[in-house]
Structure 1
Amino acid sequence: MKKRLLSLALCGALLCGALAGCGGNETPSTSQEPSSGQTEDEPKILTTAVSAELNTLYPLNMDVQNNIGTKLCYEGLVNYENGEVVPCLAESWEFSDDGTALTFHLKEGVTFHDGTPFNAEAVKTDFEFAHPNPNFSNISAVAKVESIEVVDEYTVTFHYPNAYFAYLMDFCYPETMVLVSPAVLEEGNYQSMNGVVGTGPYVYEEIVDGDYVRFVRNENYWGEQPYYDEVIVKYIPDASARLQALQSGEIDLIYGSALLTWDDYQQALSLPNIAGAVAESDSKTRNLVLNASGVLSDLKVREAVAYAIDKETLSEGLTYGEETPADHLFPDGIPYTDVELNVVRTYDPEKANALLDEAGWVLNESTGIREKDGQALSLKYTYDSGDALNKSLATAVKSQLAAVGIDVETEGQEMMTWWQEGVAGNYDLIMWNTEQPYTSPHNYFIPMLSRSPHVPSLTAVEGSDKFLALIEEFQTTDDPTRVQEIFDQLLNFDNDNVLDLPLLFVKDMIVYNTDKVAGYDFSSTPMFFDVRLIQPAE
């Protein structure tokens, strides 16, 4: 077993409490006092688990496996809480009158884990490094910046070519739009960094390959010190092994929908001394993208797929009703998405069959699969194998589509392969979830111009030129009336043409050992674990 000691840590993230560092007013409801029987001298250690090693905990791209660790060590200029942008490493900000300059006034007295001062020069260095990174090409606050001006030691201004309603929202990403010590950056290297070094409440101290990562409390943290002295994240790739580790006390909790299916959640609750909780707010939408450039080129067939899927059964059968059926693309409360749709499609297998008949796909009674011109109606369904529910969801959809004569081949893929294959158009159906509240709807649509599975699909859809022009346009205005008009058109075009098929609104959850944990207060961005929201057991 190879052992590496890392004296510096991955950049922090927004952790909650009014005076507890980044995170505004999302404060745990229970004071964090030592557990009964625990002396002040004993280290307070929290242990959790992930399914993939945290050996690339760098804010260079989005990896769901890093959601457990990013807020331990990274922080951004601002956070998103309860529908609002709130201060973090920036205490305040303002736009110029024409909306083309965004100035941040930074918190003073903050240092990175390696002792480097956090100031305007560090902000400029970090975001100038990120600007050419292709993984940031769809985040306009970085990709569109023309220059970054250091006004004084704690004031920095981002200059843009035009006004845009979502520049500030783009800075809310807790996994990518965070600050790292300039010392870890290597020009042109967008795959790794020379250490995990942020400003957050924990330092990425030690990694034992194939076993665990240890985070230790940042004694020089600018905000309120966290309760736990250490957080240990164990690498346990197998779901059943994670549950066994929870039951035995090897780990104290398992967090998030990426690591837990709802069967796992229910099984955990049946164990002695194990409790759980489910976030009230939806995290995102479990969504299928349909490739209109292949066998699904006929709108009637794409509509048939939509009518053939019983979302209520998916909700009840796979999530015990916790994740509700999605009748629109984004969860409720997302700005600009409360749109009246031209067409609402609900489960109707008779209509699905009729549409397939109209499209010329005839059922082969011997195989149960429809055919046309000697070709079977067979679809390739791909998904990221790193998300716990994706395999079961794909199996359920396969069964439902088989009922109307559509054959489905499902394939779970490693995240990078799944993304590359999707962008290349090597799919008929692909599980492609929506974004977080602070990046929706704008950053769900922007990738359709260049880097999403929608790109090959849209080439075959009539009217897509206007659709893409509207995506370009909303990036050039901060007029809320015009922005709303544009999203009215975008969401209806998307729905009319069945480019996306939303299935369920995702809920995140936690299960924990009650000997160590009394509860958890979910933030308004529940996809990301926040150790400060844990209520330690008394």
Structure 2
Amino acid sequence: MVPRPWRHRGLIRPVAAALAGAFALLFFVALSAPQAEAADKRRLTIGISQYPSTLHPSFDSMMAKSYIAGMARRRITTYSPEWLEICQLCTELPSLEKNTAAYETTPDGKPGMAVTYTLKPDAVWADGVPITTRDIAFTVEVGKNPETGIDNAELYSRIDSVDILDDKSFTLHLNKRTCDYSGLAGFDILPAHIERPIFEQGASEYRHRSAYDTDPTQPGLWHGPYRVARVTPGQSILLERNPNWWGARPYFDEILVRAIENTAALTANLLSGDIDMIAGEVGIPVDQALSFEAKHGADFKAVYRPGLFYEHIDLNLDNPILQDSRVRLALLTAIDRDAISQRLFKGVQPVAHGNVNPLDVRYDATAPRVAYNPDRAAALLDEAGWRMGGNGIREKDGQPLTLTIQTTAGNTTRELVEQVLQNQWRAVGVDIRIENEPARVLFGETISKRKFTGLAMFAWLSAPESIPRTTLHSSQIPTAENAWIGQNYTGYANPEMDRIIDDLETECAETDQARLWSRLQHLYAEDLPVLPLYFRSDPFLMPKNLTGVRPTGHQYPSTLWVEEWRLND
């Protein structure tokens, strides 16, 4: 997957409109050639490279699920393709100036906030049942129950209580004052009329009994322009037009999303006409798109969208080998990331020197950078006590320097990068074993439950200015005891990083924000809980007469505006 990697779990803040405008002008590239047409108006068939492990919005962060949900659900708030915070299910964002947000004191005497939202008056579930504050109250109840193990538990831990003002308006009482109080993008509303009876059978088993997995075609689960009409597990999901959708009428009668986990097979299916387009968010890598463009550019439209996609390697810091910072630095120093960027991606996907993308206004160019230097890598490993053995593999106390690396099986680019890494690390005496798994297994079990013993290569996808609480704060390390809540899969725990993240959420002055973001990036480069690889550009391959698709470059997919998609006759 790209798990929605990293999905900001809390409340979000917008980025400047000028920056968003620049993206819109600079990064949309269309090929000029005769137009290839989608199958017909009745059905559009989209190919993606992963099948979601669940359709429940609160479990298992996968971009494949987010992409499909974008057509069948709507968020209370989200980020637009222009990187601006907007309402989707609400009528307007809370504001201190408009008194829909206010400072208050929590029952235990701490600084808190009250934020008020009003749901759109005509919003209904696809079975015609109105979306009301009953659904809000139920969603809060599920989110705050520690036995459910939902992904976004950190957000719900901030909600002390909810006041129901009427059928459409509600106030959340937050136990923390934050700079990004107006956003509620991580709040995935659930249909109380369907899910409450299931939840009341037992919170600990709710995720396994939810109708999203046991009866996903039930219309009342959905509230977007489309609703799920058929599920073929592991293969495809058919969406049909939602007759009770309150927004602009979508163009296509049906959209079929087919999961083809081998990315080479994805392009073959596009050429054969079995699919009409390949999703950029969860499709093929840039190198394959560039090759496809060179051969078949006359027949398809290609759109490349640089964005907040961070390809990296998580290190399991419970592994004694990886607990030594010298080993972590040696591993990074032994990677020729510039060669990977230039030779595999023609420079389209630049080297990542940290977790903050240069496109983000919070990027600090002064943060330390690690250059490729195999001699230095060897010296660091010597210093750490790992001496070269007779077979070319380093040893320490009779133990070989052997680590496993895992990524999504069938993703040809990641598998190629793995082989490059394996060879470069072998050159400095590190033995790497490749143990790849299908995306639904890798993300549904291995990574989310920290079952990987060494290295895991995947991508995080964030919103602009996204504070990485769930990936770097020590409170977000998933364990069996906390029902695997959190995305700090490395097990990274640094009190200074915790303080920085806490302060970023509450110290809103621009000078404080700049200082804290800078220190976060410096500390990340010093500790290296993660090995940065490169920032991705996602390629969309589409019929030349398909219009209205607006790639976002952030964690919220283009499908959130699927009703704007059209075929030009």
Q: What TM-score do the two structures reach when normalised by structure 1?
A: 0.81
How far residue 302 of structure 1 moved from its aligned partner, in angstroms, is 1.6
Bigger drift between 134-143 and 111-120 goes to: 134-143
Tell whether 2:96 aligns with 1:96. no
Identify the residue that residue 205 of structure 1 maps to in structure 2: 229
Q: Which runs of 5+ in 1 are unaligned?
A: 1-25
Change (3 A) 1:290 1:245: closer
Identify the residue that residue 135 of structure 2 maps to in structure 1: 122
Residue 523 of structure 1 aligns to which amino acid in structure 2?
Answer: T
Give distance in 2, aligned partners of 1:237 and 1:416: 10
Change (3 A) 1:369 1:435: same
Work out which of the residue numbers 338, 353, 366 in structure 2 matches 1:340: 366
Identify the residue that residue 535 of structure 2 maps to in structure 1: 505
The equivalences for 1:407-418 within 5 A come to 407-415=431-439, 418=442
Residue 256 of structure 1 aligns to which amino acid in structure 2?
Answer: G
The equivalences for 1:370-409 within 5 A come to 370-385=394-409, 389-409=413-433
> What SS does structure 2 have at the residue aligned with 1:279?
strand
The equivalences for 1:112-511 within 5 A come to 112-132=125-145, 135-136=149-150, 138=152, 140-169=154-183, 171-173=184-186, 177-185=187-195, 186-187=198-199, 188=203, 189-191=206-208, 193-194=210-211, 195-196=215-216, 197-209=221-233, 212-256=236-280, 258-269=282-293, 270-271=295-296, 274-293=299-318, 294-334=320-360, 336-338=362-364, 340-341=366-367, 343-364=368-389, 366-385=390-409, 389-415=413-439, 418=442, 420-422=445-447, 423-424=449-450, 426-438=452-464, 439-446=466-473, 449-451=476-478, 457-458=491-492, 464-472=494-502, 474=504, 481-511=511-541
Tell whether 2:83 aligns with 1:80. no
Identify the residue that residue 521 of structure 1 maps to in structure 2: 550
Q: Which runs of 5+ in 2 are unaligned?
A: 1-23, 96-100, 105-111, 479-485
> What SS does structure 1 have at the residue aligned with 2:258?
strand
> What SS does structure 1 have at the residue aligned with 2:358?
coil
Conserved? CA contact 1:246–1:253, under 8 Å: yes
Work out which of the residue numbers 102, 105, 111 in structure 1 matches 2:124: 111
Per-residue CA deviations over 1:131-163 (Å, capped at 9, x if unaligned) read: 326544655432321111111222111111121
How far residue 348 of structure 1 moved from its aligned partner, in angstroms, is 1.7
Residue 126 of structure 2 aligns to which amino acid in structure 1?
Answer: H
Change (3 A) 1:83 1:241: closer
How far residue 208 of structure 1 moved from its aligned partner, in angstroms, is 4.2
Residue 90 of structure 1 aligns to which amino acid in structure 2?
Answer: C
Identify the residue that residue 5 of structure 2 maps to in structure 1: none
Per-residue CA deviations over 1:363-405 (Å, capped at 9, x if unaligned) read: 23x4222223332222222234476643222222112212222
Give distance in 1, aligned partners of 2:175 and 2:339: 48
How far residue 472 of structure 1 moved from its aligned partner, in angstroms, is 4.7
Change (3 A) 1:326 1:238: closer
How far residue 71 of structure 1 moved from its aligned partner, in angstroms, is 0.9
Per-residue CA deviations over 1:90-145 (Å, capped at 9, x if unaligned) read: 11123213451111122111111011102222222223223326544655432321
Change (3 A) 1:315 1:55: closer
Change (3 A) 1:236 1:417: closer
Change (3 A) 1:378 1:247: same
How far residue 272 of structure 1 moved from its aligned partner, in angstroms, is 7.2
How far residue 63 of structure 1 moved from its aligned partner, in angstroms, is 1.9
How far residue 473 of structure 1 moved from its aligned partner, in angstroms, is 5.1
> What SS does structure 2 have at the residue aligned with 1:280?
strand
Number of residue pairs the alignment of both structures matches: 497
Per-residue CA deviations over 1:234-273 (Å, capped at 9, x if unaligned) read: 3434434332321121210111353313343234332376
Conserved? CA contact 2:52–2:62, under 8 Å: no
Change (3 A) 1:103 1:480: farther
Change (3 A) 1:236 1:532: same
Conserved? CA contact 2:377–2:428, under 8 Å: yes
Bigger drift between 268-277 and 404-413 goes to: 268-277
How far residue 184 of structure 1 moved from its aligned partner, in angstroms, is 2.8
Give distance in 2, aligned partners of 1:453 and 1:525: 18
Conserved? CA contact 2:67–2:557, under 8 Å: yes
Give distance in 1, aligned partners of 2:260 and 2:421: 28
Give distance in 2, aligned partners of 1:399 and 1:533: 46
Give distance in 1, aligned partners of 2:434 and 2:236: 32
Bigger drift between 433-442 and 402-411 goes to: 433-442
Bigger drift between 492-501 and 91-100 goes to: 91-100
How far residue 505 of structure 1 moved from its aligned partner, in angstroms, is 0.4
Residue 67 of structure 2 aligns to which amino acid in structure 1?
Answer: I
Conserved? CA contact 1:323–1:507, under 8 Å: yes
Give distance in 2, aligned partners of 1:126 and 1:211: 30
Give distance in 1, aligned partners of 2:47 and 2:417: 23
How far residue 482 of structure 1 moved from its aligned partner, in angstroms, is 4.5
Give distance in 2, aligned partners of 1:281 and 1:306: 24
Give distance in 1, aligned partners of 2:259 and 2:151: 31
Identify the residue that residue 6 of structure 1 maps to in structure 2: none
Conserved? CA contact 2:51–2:439, under 8 Å: no
Identify the residue that residue 7 of structure 2 maps to in structure 1: none
Conserved? CA contact 1:148–1:159, under 8 Å: yes
Conserved? CA contact 1:258–1:387, under 8 Å: no
Conserved? CA contact 1:112–1:180, under 8 Å: no
Residue 191 of structure 2 aligns to which amino acid in structure 1?
Answer: S
Change (3 A) 1:485 1:408: same
Identify the residue that residue 46 of structure 1 maps to in structure 2: 44
Give distance in 2, aligned partners of 1:67 and 1:166: 22
Give distance in 2, aligned partners of 1:412 and 1:113: 39
Change (3 A) 1:138 1:87: closer
Change (3 A) 1:190 1:168: farther
Change (3 A) 1:48 1:37: closer
